[in-house]
Amino acid sequence: MPVRLLPGHGQYSNSYVANGVLIDAGATPMAIEHHKNIIKYIVITHRHFDHMPYLAEAVRMTGAEVLIHEEDALGLTDENVCLSMHYGERAPHIPPARYIQEGDIIDGLEVIHTPGHTIGSICLYEAATNSLISGDTVFGNGEYGRYDLPTGNREALIASIEKLKDYRIDGVYCGHGAPARDKGGVVINKAYHNITMGL
């Protein structure tokens, strides 16, 4: 199934629908509503509030299970962890149904643990379409996520981007900005070059 972009609202992240999964909750409830009948899981790529501002509404609308990596799970319930105060907001206070980890398959999407932007950051890979939903690990223009926020780590992010080079990636569907719907391998290589060169 093609990855469907739900553009982020204002300063909030993009969301995506792939198979029965909603990835992140930065798109408005109105955008999510069109897909509510197929969404079984909501995967949050990392702890930052801009990826979950509409999580409570999405859960009420779909009844879906919320999944997140254990290292970032406190971001769902703790304002200091998700940095929601920077947006004048509260954490969604939605506990996860369960934790996800490296190698899990969520409705055809493989979880890749990619720490660096945060300690619990993940990407999702769909082998059937060679699609990578990358959160804030890498962006569609070959840039990469910042590592100067709590639990960010440059060396970990370099290792995570290097790990992504082992996958055949056609499309990169990023947390912010326009996705790169083809030549995803070029995007990953550019991000790796930029971060290792300090660009």
User: Could you list the pLDDT tens digit for every one of the 199 residues in the chain?
Assistant: 689 999 998 899 999 999 999 999 999 999 999 999 999 999 999 999 999 999 999 999 999 999 999 999 999 999 999 999 999 999 999 999 999 999 999 999 999 999 999 999 999 999 999 999 999 999 999 999 999 999 999 999 999 999 999 999 999 999 999 999 999 999 999 999 999 998 8
The pLDDT of residue 2: 87
d(C-alpha 115, C-alpha 137), whole Å: 8
The pLDDT of residue 153: 98
Residues in the chain: 199
The model carries a pTM of 0.97
Which residue ranges make up each domain of the chain?
Answer: 4-196
Q: What is the dihedral of CA 86, 88, 94, 98, to 10 degrees?
A: -10
Q: What is the DSSP string of 115-155?
A: TTSSTT-EEEEETTTTEEEEETSB-TTS-B----STT--HH
Angle at 186 (CA atoms; ends 185, 191), nearest 5 degrees: 100
The pLDDT of residue 95: 94
The pLDDT of residue 97: 97
Yes or no: is domain 4-196 CATH 3.40.50.2300?
Answer: no
Contact residues for 34 (Cβ-Cβ < 8 A; gap 6+): none
The pLDDT of residue 199: 82
The pLDDT of residue 1: 65
